[in-house]
Copies of this chain bind each other. A is one copy, B any other.
């Protein structure tokens, strides 16, 4: 009989998942949870990925396919290479571009992946049947699936997700450390609330993501910091802010175009 086995550390969350019908049963032991499974989905912080691969590798069934939802793909391939000595054919790294700042089974909902994109980053060693099974799993949930290299994925996601998270976390922290921080937050309006929503995300998970994609992020952060110095200089120019206006106009045009594109899809 087909069944879904959950695995995790928190007993309360797993029991709630059984109550909600999200899983059929659970185990706290990864090796026990994956025994006999034909499809394994790893949703663990990137820092825990190597340990879980090491735990489940020896007990996987012959026809098992393993995929994951980690936000950095190069580090998952590195972990697999390190644990198994080479990249296994049954590993299909993946990244669903969906989610909220909340975690735990209570934050789940059936339409989470509907009309969302899922990026798969198969390696040269990945078996094509395994890739196809993972693709079909996502398509059944209403997602549209694309393949790209892990390197390319990590560049694109650094720009659209990892860098914005670092900026939001560090801005809120910088403001919280200012002397008048109570007052500052008191007079913050809706724009600030939206701008900083992602700073309410899970700190440990995001620490892992940023460290795992440190190569891309390091250069993006430094480049962006240099742009901010330029922006500060532009404030003082005698042209009445023409350079600022050009930046703001390009940004609004790009952002409005992007939102129109998203709205068309939905």
Contact = CB atoms under 8 A, between A and B. Distances in A.
Interface of A: 47, 97-101, 116-117, 119, 155-157, 159-161, 163-178, 180-181, 183-204, 206-208, 210-211, 214, 217-218, 221-229, 231-232, 235-236, 240-241, 244-245, 247-259, 261-262
| Oligomer copy total | 2
Given A232-B217, A232-B218, A157 B187 contact: yes
B207 A184 contact: no
Nearest to A166: B231
A183 B156 contact: yes
Contacts of A248: 169, 173, 199, 203-204, 206-207
Identify the 8 closest CB pairs spanning chains A and B, nearest first.
A203-B248, A176-B254, A225-B228, A172-B251, A214-B235, A160-B188, A221-B232, A173-B251
A171 B224 contact: yes
Nearest to A188: B160
Contact of A170 (B155, B195, B201, B231): B231
